[in-house]
Amino acid sequence: MTPPLPSTNVRQPTMPLPRDNGELIFHSPWESRVFAMAVLLCEKGAYAWTTFSEHFVQCIGDAERHSPDQEAVSAYYHHWRQALEKVLVEKEILAAEQLHARANEFATGQRHHIG
């Protein structure tokens, strides 16, 4: 079942979530994880959904300006991840160094859980 978007400060992204028959589409486990992290942190009050959404829109716009031939949907969760990273650093939830260290741990398989 598709998780709902956060109820506080809900604002639909300008680009619809990738869906198939109403269900969210995740091609890789990391996509569902980054989606869940962004929603959960917002629900816990770490930031307003509008803050995340603004960064998400900016990431998509930047990508479209730099690579107009690449379809934005093909990189949807990459943009989602970039927006989350920007918010985490902007709101001082993680320092940039911590963010890069954790990303490396996930990429190399040293970390498999979020907490």
Where residue 87 sits, what CATH number does that domain have?
1.10.472
| pLDDT for the residue 48 | 96
Running DSSP on this structure, what letter comes out for residue 31?
A: H
Specify the pTM.
0.75
49-66 and 76-90 helices cross at what angle (nearest 10)?
Answer: 130
Cβ–Cβ < 8 Å for 11, 49: yes
Number of domains in the chain: 1
Q: Environment class of residue 34 by beta-carbon count within 10 Å: exposed (0-12), middle (13-18) or buried (19+)?
A: buried
Is residue 11 domain-resident?
Answer: no
pLDDT by 10s per residue, the chain, length 115: 444 544 444 444 455 677 777 888 888 888 888 999 999 999 999 999 999 999 999 998 888 888 777 665 568 899 999 999 999 999 999 999 999 998 888 778 787 666 5
Q: Looking at this protein, which amino acid is placed at residue 49?
A: W
Is residue 5 domain-resident?
Answer: no
Tell me how far apart the alpha carbons of residues 58 and 67 are, in angstroms, rounded to a whole number. Answer: 14
Q: How far is CA 73 from CA 60, 64, 97, in A?
A: 9, 11, 29
Is residue 97 domain-resident?
Answer: yes
Is residue 52 domain-resident?
Answer: yes
| pLDDT for the residue 82 | 94
Q: Which domain holds residue 33?
A: 19-108
Is residue 6 domain-resident?
Answer: no
